[in-house]
């Protein structure tokens, strides 16, 4: 995957989580990102964002995991948005 596409997906996921005022499960994130492929492929990606500290995860009954953006994630989203605007 090329870097621009990688950052584009990161920006979309972070933007979706930034717009939410509550914890979101991966299927809800996938619906709002409008993935061109299976939503289940987003699970490892969001886990990786959690490893980077851009989102945080919390478990819930039934083994479902919910995510929300962190302060570090908000700063990264701001950086990606400014970088995209600078290209235009």
Round to whole Å and give the CA distance between 36 and 66: 22
Chain centroid to Cα 66, Å, comes to 12
User: pLDDT class for 78, splitting at 50, 70, 90?
Assistant: very high
Enter the DSSP assignment of 34.
T
Residue 2's pLDDT band, with cuts at 50, 70 and 90, is: very low
How large is the average pLDDT for residues 60-70?
A: 87
Between CA 16 and CA 69 the distance in angstroms is 9
Q: Would the pLDDT of 6 be above 70? A: no
What are the structural domains, with CATH classification, of the chain? Answer: 3-87 (1.10.10.10)
Question: pTM here?
Answer: 0.85
Mean pLDDT of the chain: 88
């Amino acid at each position: 995957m090329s870097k621009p596409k990688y950052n584009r997906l990161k920006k979309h996921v972070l933007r979706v989580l930034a717009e939410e005022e509550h914890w979101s499960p991966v299927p809800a994130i996938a619906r709002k990102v409008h993935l061109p492929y299976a939503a289940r492929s987003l699970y490892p990606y969001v886990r990786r964002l959690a490893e980077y500290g851009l989102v945080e995860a919390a478990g819930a009954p039934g083994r479902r995991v919910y995510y929300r953006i962190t302060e570090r994630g908000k700063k990264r989203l701001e950086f990606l948005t400014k970088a995209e605007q600078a290209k235009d």
